[in-house]
Structure 1
Amino acid sequence: MTDTLTPAADRSTDTENVARLLDHTGARIRDERLDPWIADVDAPMLRQLYRDMALTRRLDAEGVALQRQGHLGLWAPAQGQEAVQIGTAWACQDDDFLFPSYREIGIELVRGVEPADFVMVWHGVQHSSFDPFAVHIASPQIIIGAQSLHAVGYAMGIQRDGGDQVAVAYFGDGATSQGDVNEAMVFAASFGSPIVFVCSNNQWAISEPVALQAQYPIAGRAPGFGIPSMRVDGNDVLACLAAMRWAADHARSGRGPAFLEAVTYRLGPHTTSDDPTRYRDAAEVEHWRARDPLTRVETYLRGLGAFDDAFAAAVSADADRFTAAMRRAVVDTPAPAPLGVFDHVYAEPHTGIDEQRAAYAAYLDGFADGGAA
């Protein structure tokens, strides 16, 4: 099941040298490595995968709209990356613990995170929203790659507790240049930890193309740490489901970590503060739009007779309700008291926080007296 280093002729810009089960047109193709892992996937399951991808896209669009309208400070769009998120999340057991970056909204949707919890942190009224232990997802990490170390630590804890769970670390292609990710792979391989590393290679680390930091496919790095890897079509939800089932089974069965490189594309900006037209071609974006992960599943389902207007309307209605709840949560939440920013930073009283609170209170009092800051 391991893909070793790709020949030099097929460098990191080759996005076709991947394992897949649905081609760009939505036609089912065979892959001897992946086929056994989706033998149980039927039309109802495919419809569930499509629904979750569609809801992810809609909640993502709502997040962008809320930011543009001044309700959110920032949003990290996920358009184009729905398949890797939904496919890998559905391949996990409910008690597997997932460690996302700031872009993995799809895995949160699968795990039942509430609409409000997608926006309240970005709205600036909470330090964190959902309870990580209720949904088995760590709070999204802003520091690039840091969650990979957290995930390995959790996986080592699973080993010591004698559990059968798996930890999953999600990160982008840019994070593979960070020391944290490489250190995490050293620890995971050294201790044989039950962890899966999922790299969503969306071709751009902000404005830096993947070819600048990776002369060969990223999946080729993992075997150097002693970690088997697979390079999969990240726009093919069936392939992502199958590859993750393989990787999770490998880790869960005591054979140590596994690594997936999901080759996908970020159709939108890196965040809402980014302008991607300054560094990439419109033709490149259109090339990837033709490989849309939702369109290919819809095409496949229509071929099975499992996608009709009624199903499309039901999915749209679900998305309407979800995004309306997101918007209500933001619009109806009163602005917090300024000094509330110091609440819940530490579990126990802390003198440093007390000093900062007092200093900020004095600063605010200066405005109350008509003074200048």
Structure 2
Amino acid sequence: MAAHAEEPQGAAVVADGFGLKGPRGWAFREVGFRADPGALVAIEGPSGSGRTCLLLALTGRMKPHEGHAEVAGHRLPRHMGAVRRISALGPVPGVSDLDPAFTVDEHLRERALLQRRFDGSLRSLLRPPGERAADARTRIQEALKAAGLDPATLPKAGRTSVRDLERLEALRLSVALALIGRPRLLALDDTDLKLSDTDRAAGWSLLRSIADAGTTVLAVCSEAPEGALRVTTASRTTGTTGGDATDAAVPDAADESDAGTAQDTAEERTGEAPAQDTAQKPGTEETGTEDRGGDAPGDPDAAAAGKNAAKRKTAGKNAAEDTAEAGDGDADTIEEGAADALAETGRA
């Protein structure tokens, strides 16, 4: 019974007149749709049409400028922090990239440690090291199973570097890392990019299985799969196409607006322009490089994470430095900065 209670329950997502504007125009506008808990939502449209900005806004990582959205009853933009706590990012280029130098095992151990470090209660941090290690192993095993990734089948098993993974394997690893936090909402960018027809089908099958297990999935793609709730950012008209598909309108000017979108949102949120060097490997979540400072004394996982931290040579990848510069111990702040820098470079 206790194990069942810990299973993630999907978050309902509702958007009404949702829009985000930068200094050069609207990234997206008048987006409206309703997704039930455990739904598979495909955000469809060409590159540059505001898909990534919409994904980040719906997960509380970019601040919208008109309309509103609700995720599990948390209203955006008022409760962005609450939405970030129940959502997790899979692969989002420029925000939650995998480190090509890390091995699969290193990524998994690091994410489990960071999950405990930032999202665990004080009581959980004071548990004996053996209990914490057992909990980390359980989370990792559950996440790998849900993502359909068996490290034993990789060329060097868990010691395989990310740079040596196939595109579908890297997608599965990113999803597994996100699922370690047992989120209610999973968000992915460029889901079908550079995938063969066979791998694309396997990727959508994976996301359907996660949605069927109870976690709501938001996936950016160039072409939505059959049966998904389709939200498109490439049309001015809003309507329903084919059963459960919903088109959410975005003006054509969005293609020209993306370069400044997040800089504007960052200035409104923090009062100053976002740092240029925060676009690399933001935090937990949720994304994968917050604090490498370790954990409670005597924790073998903390020692492993300390070794992993030595591999980070730049400020963007050193989460401890990022957190200090931001003046906030919350990994979400780092992730927001990366989202801001992403849109500032002109990618939506």
Normalising by structure 1, report the TM-score: 0.29
> By percentage of residues, which structure has more helix?
1
Q: Please say which structure displays the higher CA radius of gyration.
A: 1
Normalising by structure 2, report the TM-score: 0.30
